[in-house]
Structures are given as C-alpha cells and as structure tokens.
Amino acid sequence: MIVLLGKSGYIASEILSSAFKSGKKILPISRSECDYYDASKLAHLLKDTGANFVINAAGYTGKPNVDACEHAKYECLQGNAVLPGIIREVCEDLSLPWGHISSGCIFSGKRTDGKGWREHDEPNFSFSSPPCSFYSGSKALGEEVLHGAKDCFIWRLRIPFDHQVNSRNYLQKLLSYQYLLEAENSVSQLNEFTEMCLKCTNNNVEPGIYNMTNPGSIHTRQVTEWMKMYGFEDRKFEFFQNEGEFMKEAASTPRSNCVLDTTKAFNAGIGMKPVEEAMIESIIKMRKMM
C-alpha cells in the first residue's frame, strides 16, 4: 500500500490518477484526516495502514504564484523544509522507503560548461546562494534536510504542464497572462512525471535525487509558436522587453529559469520523452478540450 501525503493538489491528483490507471493500491491522506506534521500521528497512520511506501506531495507553493510565499514565510518553511524532515524521521524509524516531490527551481541558468544542472550540483538559487525567491530557498532547504536520508527518492519537478485546464498548468498560464517573460527552462509533463515516480515504488530503481524533466529545454517564444501552430492561431502573445521590466511590472521576487540534466533518470529507466514531443502532444490535446 502506497500512502500519499497530500490529496487534492495539482501534483497529488495526478499521482492518484496514474496509480489507479496502473492498478497500484494508494491511499491519499489530507492533513485534516491526519496531522502528519505530528511525527507520532504519522507513525501510527503508516503502521495502521500497512504502508510499504510513502509519497510526500504535500508542501506550500503559494497562490497564484511564488510571490505569495513572500507573505507566508512560516507556512512556506513548515511545508517545504520542516515537513520533509518529519517524514524522514518517521520513515527511517519504520524502515519505509519513500519519495519526496522537490523542485528544480533551486537552480538558475546553466552550468559554466553550458550544460544542464546535475543532481550532485550545489543549488545556486537558494538561501545559501542568493538572490532567490523564498519558495526556492525553502525547497533547497528541504533537500538539505534530506541529505543522507535512507531509502529516499527526491524527485525534482520543474514547471509542470499537461493538457488539463488548471491554473498550475504551464500552458494554461501562457494563455492567462497578459504579458510573458522570454526564458529558457526545463519542464515536466505531469502525467509522465507521476508515472515515473510511481515506477520507483517497484524496488527496481536506486533511491536518490533525480531531475524529473523532459530531456531538452524550451524557450517561452518557442512554446507560444507551437500553440499558434497547433490550434491557438488567433491568440496574440505579448512579451516583456526584458527581465527588468518583468520584475518591475509583474513580480515581487526573483524567478528561477534553469536547465536540468536528465541523464541519471534516463539511465535508471525513469526517463521521459523529449520535451518538444511532450509539449506539442499536450498542446494538441488541450486545444481539443477547449
């Protein structure tokens, strides 16, 4: 039995959907059903349910975007840094393997050699390497808390997208914002991401940190061109002149724009399809739904 902490969020909902499709037994738990910030209550829950794997999809992202985290720092730290430590303590005491949904937003840009960031690279968009958003800092701190954790997967998600109409969907955001920022990023097709995370529960993937993004990277303008090419031909996309204008007009905290290396995930058998293929496929499906 897989116990899923977090129940109704964008990521948790897709984990549930993927689990049901694959026939995996999964039990989603909300904080109202069990205060998993309390180690003793979480331990009792895992014992009572007979859990053999735990997935942490709970955390704090801020709505409508990470700017909100600047005004909810306590909640952000609790959800993204403190909670992972509590789950680690309980799972290690019970000898349970588990997985934590992390983020690639702890990086900015590319490595000095022009390649994507690897799993062992030190975050360069964190409290230890400012400037950064409070959200990114808290996610990097969460990974620090899990350093050396036993039987633990850290799955780095990056700008999730799919064909569903959801405010967290990157493609939906491109349609809803009046102005866009041109940037290069790694991104994660959500359905593939959750399928590969669940594949790790079969005990045939070595625990550790994995960059779980579609191989390659995308530029914002490239995606908008694909959207116009595959069904959104009447949509006019407008862009900020530069990042400075974006920060002045639309944001209160710096944003992470980065490229991640996915070689480790590919070699472990949990790699995903190329980013262009995944992106165009989702655009076409989304257009059919609208």
User: Which CATH number characterizes residue 90's domain?
Assistant: 3.40.50.720
Tens digit of each residue's pLDDT, the chain (290 residues): 999 999 888 999 999 999 999 999 999 999 999 999 999 999 999 999 999 999 999 999 988 889 999 999 999 999 999 999 999 999 999 999 999 999 999 999 999 999 999 999 999 999 999 999 999 999 999 999 999 999 999 999 999 999 998 999 999 999 999 999 999 999 999 999 999 999 999 989 999 999 999 999 999 999 999 999 999 999 999 999 999 999 999 999 999 999 999 999 999 999 999 999 999 999 999 999 88
The span from the first CA to the last CA of the chain, in angstroms, equals 36
Domain that holds residue 221: 2-289
**CA distances (Å), origin 87, targets 7, 42, 74, 209, 242:** 16, 8, 18, 16, 41
Please name which of 22, 18, 55 lies closest in space to residue 36, comparing C-alpha atoms.
Answer: 55
Beta bridge partners of residue 258, listed in sequence order = 109
For residue 161 the two structure tokens come to 């997208």
**Phi, psi of 258, rounded to the nearest 5 degrees:** -150, 165
How much is the pLDDT for 221?
98
DSSP states of 28-71 as a string?
EE-TTT--TTSHHHHHHHHHHHT-SEEEE------SSSGGGGGG
How much is the pLDDT for 145?
98
Q: Enter the pTM of the model.
A: 0.97
Structural contact between residues 268 and 135, judged by C-beta atoms closer than 8 angstroms:
no
Q: Which helix (H) or strand (E) holds 105?
A: none
Residues in the chain, overall count: 290
Number of domains in the chain: 1
Cα–Cα dist 197/195, whole Å: 5
